[in-house]
Amino acid sequence: MGRPNEAVEALLQEFADLLAITNGEPYKIRAYENAARTVAGYPVDVSGLDLRGLREIPNVGKSIAEKIIEYFATGHVAALDQLREEIPAGVRELVTIPTLGPRKAMILYSQLGIASVDQLEDAIHSGLLEEQHGFGPKTAANLLHGIELLARSSGRVLLDEAMAVAEEVTRALSAHPACLTCAYAGSLRRMRETVGDVDLLAASTDSGPVMEALTHLPLVGEVIAHGPTKTSVRTTTGLQVDLRVVTPQSWGAALQYFTGSKEHNIRVREIAVRKGLKLSEYGLFRIDDDALVVSETEEAVYAKLDLAWIPPTLREDRGEIEAARTGRLPDLVTIADIRGDLHTHTDLTDGTASLTDMLAAASARGFHYYAVTDHAKSLPMQRMTDEKMLAQRDRLRMLADTTDLELLHGTELNIDPDGEVDWDGDFLAGFDIRVASIHSRFGQPRKAMTRRLVRACENPYVNVIGHPTTRKLNQRPPVNADFDAVFEAAAATGTAMEINSCPDRLDLPDDLILRARQHGVKFAIDTDAHAVAHLDNLRYGVGTAQRGWLSADEVINAWPLDRLREFIAAKVARLAPVGAGARRARQGRH
């Protein structure tokens, strides 16, 4: 999926938000929201489609298709511009607060005159907000937390957005004759969940042409600084890109230096000093005579310091220096290790692609097995029924002979506030795999939320807890739970914790992965794909798993299918009551 699809997604979502603010028809709001989601996951660049091609996209009707064409032809949409004029800029600013919806933002403006984030914060602290009907102490606390989230996320973008820019620029610069090599560094190379700016490094004997090439790329909206060793630009979407050009001889030292993190680099430099050396972006030098020791490769730099090469995803000063010194670095899981995806959706519920399209895409990506896990029936908007789920299972069995994939029929269950899931044991026993996730009531108290997740782990048929903290980066905070208690229950029951690869989730996050490992938890790295293009997000989940020091042996979908099935069956055998459903599951007749 190219960036034009993301631009249209943002455009349509803004249209939906502004309609909500102005009390637009609910069906229109849903139409724009559905179209935004579908376009985002559509595998074809929508900027090259005509009206007919756009209308072939699910949820994109004639009116929306015409607006997309207008956007690419003129750079704006007149109807959206008119909506923006109707709504004060302050209200649009308020809507950026993750915990504040568009309608409440309009109430704040129309009834209290609040037209900025600062004014809202003042109203909360002064007690003015609590005097307004519908804005009690709990709402005020949530809004303050949302303001805090907004401040923390300011200027930082999701990993996939930064990666798209970085890869576009590195491809363009790598094709330039003066550029010998080009790569991204910084927090992006370390696969941090959000990125402040994109750090690029290039090697060349003549930096001028490479710097000049960057400033003339189509995505550049502004040149911030332009020099012989560093050039900074801002893209048309506002993301800053910093390019540094070094000589080929300094490549390894520069890549190590500009990858970071700051804390990791401080530790490495301290080791160098104790050896009578100094380390910079230009190389490793002897202190006494400034003689160059080594600089061309990262591996050589680390080796001269008696350290094994440390994968970028580990460079956060969380024990990797000691592990590299003593030979205890983990053999990190890689994309090549992942044998199958255990959490995916189709257009039977809220996916945008058909079952056959998703299977073909999974096969093309080299998976050995693949699970289809559409939503279960307790979420009314998904319109799932027992009959529809069983019909999908039959169809999946029919398709088994048409693909080289081992097909697994699963479901994403909804964990209700009491920790229960959608179906009873007999029905659940018919699935090959079951993911269970929280989709509502995110604000439960800590004790109740902990029990909710623990009870889901204790269900004999729940194999994976999906996106366990439920967070949405830059949008929604994680739930408040005692995750050590949850991880203890997961390890004891044989329930895997998901690392959800969606760039706005990356859930579990790396810090909780590290804690879960201490309890002996196993993990599943899934895409939660709702469209063909989403399958490519797997690399972000793998990057997050690496930041949590995971090896392939700790990831259940890096296992052969027989071992995965044994893992699933073992939980049922230990915990399920003896009955028809339990017997079927134990006998492997899913």
- Strands 194-195, 220-226: parallel, antiparallel or unpaired by DSSP? unpaired
- Spatial neighbors of 532 by CB under 8 A, at least 6 apart, are 41, 43, 353, 357, 358, 361
User: For position 18, what pLDDT does the model report?
Assistant: 84
Which tokens sit at 584?
């079927």
CA dist 148 and 144 (Å) reads 6
Picking from 70-84, 393-407, 571-585, which range would have the lowest pLDDT averaged per residue?
Answer: 571-585
Q: What is the pLDDT of residue 319?
A: 95
Q: Are 190 and 85 in a shared domain?
A: no
pLDDT over threshold 80, residue 2: no
Length reported for the chain: 590
Contacts for 127 with CB less than 8 Å, ≥ 6 apart: none
Same domain, 255 and 216: no
- End-to-end CA separation in angstroms for the chain: 35
Q: Is the pLDDT of residue 217 over 90?
A: yes
Q: What CATH number has the domain bearing residue 303?
A: 3.30.210.10
For residues 133 and 235, state if they share a domain. no
Instruction: Kindly state whether residues 430 and 529 are assigned to the same domain.
Output: yes
CA distances to 46, 333, 526, 553 from 337, rounded to whole Å, are 33, 6, 13, 9
The model's pLDDT over 376-388, given as tens digits with 9 standing for 90+, comes to: 988 776 688 999 9
Mean pLDDT of 489-515: 97
Cite the beta strand spans of 124-185 per DSSP E.
157-158, 181-184
Alpha helices in 175-206 (DSSP H): 186-189
pLDDT at position 84 over 90: no
Question: Which of 502 and 145 is assigned the larger pLDDT?
Answer: 502
Q: Is 203 helix (H, G, I), strand (E, B) or coil?
A: strand
Q: Averaged over 255-282, what is the pLDDT?
A: 96
Residues of the chain with pLDDT > 70, as a percent, come to 96
Mean pLDDT for 315-323 is 96
Q: Which pLDDT score is estimated for 398?
A: 95
- End-of-domain residue from the set 153, 171, 191: 153
- Asked if 561 and 421 sit in the same domain, the reply is yes
Tokens of 515: 């804690």
The whole-number pLDDT of residue 23 equals 75
Q: What's the CATH number where 193 sits?
A: 3.30.460.10
Q: Is the pLDDT of residue 194 over 50?
A: yes
Q: Is the pLDDT assigned to residue 443 strictly greater than 70? A: yes
Domain with 215, as residue range(s), is 157-246
Mean local confidence (pLDDT), 174-181:
97
Are residues 301 and 206 both part of a single domain? Answer: no
Task: Tell me if 552 sits within 8 A of 368, measured CB to CB.
Answer: no
* pLDDT higher than threshold 60 for residue 531: yes
Q: What is the CATH number of the domain that holds 396?
A: 3.20.20.140
Among residues 153, 172, 192, which one ends one of the domains?
153
Last residue of a domain, one of 223, 246, 269: 246
CA distances, 301 to each of 311, 321, 355 (Å): 13, 14, 49
More confident residue, 148 or 458: 458
pLDDT value, residue 586: 47
The vertex-26 CA angle with 25 and 27, nearest 5°, equals 90
3-state helix, strand, coil in the chain (%, to 5): 50, 15, 35
Shared domain for 242 and 257, answered yes or no, is no
So what's the pLDDT on residue 270? 96
* pLDDT, the chain, mean: 91
pLDDT range class, residue 511, cuts 50, 70, 90: very high
Amino acid 286: pLDDT: 96
Same domain, yes or no: 346 and 461: yes
**Residue 563 tokens, joined:** 């071992």
Which CATH number goes with the domain that contains 67? 1.10.150.110
Q: 127 and 115 in one domain?
A: yes
What is the mean pLDDT of the segment spanning 96-105? 78
Query: How many domains, the chain?
Result: 4
Q: What is the pTM of this model?
A: 0.83
Cβ atoms of 52 and 116 closer than 8 Å: no
Return the pLDDT at 40: 81
Q: Are residues 62 and 29 in the same domain?
A: yes
The answer to whether residues 132 and 103 belong to one domain is yes
Question: In the predicted model, is pLDDT for residue 583 greater than 60?
Answer: no
Mean pLDDT, range 516-525, rounded to an integer: 98
Tell whether 164 and 146 lie within a shared domain. Answer: no
> What pLDDT sits at residue 204?
97
